[in-house]
Structure 1
Amino acid sequence: MAEENGAAPQPPTPPRMQILGQFIRDLSFENIAAQKSIQTQTQPDIQVQVALDARKREQENQFDVIVKLKIESKTKDETPQPIFLIELDYVGIFQVENVPQEQLHPFLMIECPRMLFPFLRRIVSDITRDGGFPPLNLENMDFLAIYRNELARRAESKKTADA
C-alpha cells in the first residue's frame, strides 16, 4: 500500500538499547558465620530480595538502571541463625532509542535488568566463594514478574492510602 506521496510506508524503527557502562554503586558482604563462629553442615536457607529503579540522565536517551539485591543466608535449624548477608546495588548506564514513551518504563525495568543479570550473578558467585562459602549461583530472575508484582503492590498501597 503506497502513501499519498507515492513512497512505500516505512517500517517502524526497532527499539535500540546499548549498555554504555556498568558499576557497583554499593556492596556489603557480612560473613556472620565467621564473626560468630557458627558451624553449619546443612544446606542453608537463602532468601533473595530484588528492587529495581531507573533514572533519566542529563544526556538525551540515557538512563541509569539500578538493580538492588539483598541476599540473606540462614541455617535451617529450629532457631535459624544468620550465615551471611549480601547487599548489592548494581547500576547500568543505558542508551535507549526508538521506544515509545508509554513503553519506556517497562522497557527500563524489564529488559535492562535482564541485560545486567549475568554480571550480577557473577559478582554474587565470586563474593560468596571469596567469603569462604560455596559459590552462590543465582537462578534466572523473571524481571517481568518482578515488574508486575511491583505495579500490583503500588496499586494496592495507593488504594489503602486513598481509603
Structure 2
Amino acid sequence: MKSLLIIGAGGYGQHIKEIAELCGYSKIEFLDDNSPCAIGKIDEWNILQDMYNGCIIAIGNPETRKAITEKINHLHTLIHPDATISRSAIIGDGCVIEAYAAINSNVKIMKSSYICAGAIVNHDAVVNSYCQVDCNAVVASGTIVPEKTKVQSCTVWTDK
C-alpha cells in the first residue's frame, strides 16, 4: 500500500491529496497546525514520517516550505497523470506537477517547486527550488527562475 504524509492541509494540501489518489496512494494523511482533518501538528513530522512511503509539503510560503523541506528524509514528487513531461526533463524531490502542465526537453525543476495546472516550462529552462509556476504561466525557453519565485498566473517569465 502506497502511503503519503502531506504537510499542510489547506486548499493546496487538499489538491495534492487528489493528485496523490490519482497516482495510486491509498493511505494519505495530513499534518497541520490549524486543521481538524490533520492527524497531528507540523512539528510532529519527525515522529510520523517513517510510517509513510514519503512526505510532500503543501505550503505556499517558500520560506516555510524550505525550512520544512530541509528536515524531511523521504520527499516524494507527484506528477498528475494528465501532465506532459519530456523524457529529458529532470524533476527534483518534493515537486508537484499538476494537470495539463507541460515540461519540455532539457528542463530542470528543482526541489519542492510547484508547476500548476496548464503551466508551460519551455525547453532548456530551469525552475529553481521552492518556486511556483502558477496556472497558465509560461517559463520561456532557456530562462532561469530564481529560488523562491512565484511566476504569476497567465504571465511569461523571461530573463532575457
Q: With the length of structure 2 as denominator, give the TM-score of the two structures.
A: 0.22
Structure with higher Rg: it is 1
